[in-house]
Chains A and B, each alone.
Chain A
């Protein structure tokens, strides 16, 4: 069984600050990790994903995430946030090889960017 944990329910930063949103997972097999963003009243938009290779993956709008097998983590980072980055960020895990791609989402982290 795959599980994903996002330990921070709400993160507040100022525009131009760096930010790290944390994600930890548990699963023993081959794994696929991704991050999605949800602006208020909208659906989820894909940011980035990792399944093999370079543990640092680049996504849209300057986001990147780093996979760590030893820490069972896939934290999302951005060097300099913009007010438009304010949204809820969901980490998701999936065991690939299963039928379809059944993503298991974390509870989400609300990022608030102050001007």
Chain B
């Protein structure tokens, strides 16, 4: 099936540093998402993005978070500065359109903030 690639698979950084998580969505998809999963807990919606704009974000999407997809390249999640509670697995997803379209997920980036 369609593949979403996430780079890197694991990132370790010191608290206060900036980190950028990269996502290569399915090529013809137009909607992009980030989800956060803390170990052993449920997957939680962070943000969705379409046509260069954030469509909706949750309360987990703090001011230190930002997303962009410059010129059809990677869809990125940037955290600046990072905090200890940002340690989690971040999953990127994409869909062809909104509404009832299927979301396709990447394998996740495990972020460890020390």
Residues of A within 8 A of B (CB): 32, 34, 36, 41-46, 49, 51, 90, 94, 96-108
Q: Which of the residues A49, A99, A108 comes within 8 Å of B100, measured between beta carbons? A: A49
Tell me if A101 and B95 are in contact (CB < 8 A): yes
Q: B99 near A: Cβ within 8 Å?
A: yes
Contact count band on B: 20 to 34
Q: B44 near A: Cβ within 8 Å?
A: yes
Tell me if A101 and B107 are in contact (CB < 8 A): no
Residues of B within 8 A of A (CB): 1, 4, 6, 31, 33, 35, 41-45, 48-50, 55-56, 91, 93, 95, 98-108
A32 to B98, CA, bound (A): 12
Tell me if A46 and B56 are in contact (CB < 8 A): no
Contacts of A107 in B (CB 8 A): 41-42
Tell me if A51 and B100 are in contact (CB < 8 A): yes
A106 to B56, CA, bound (A): 20
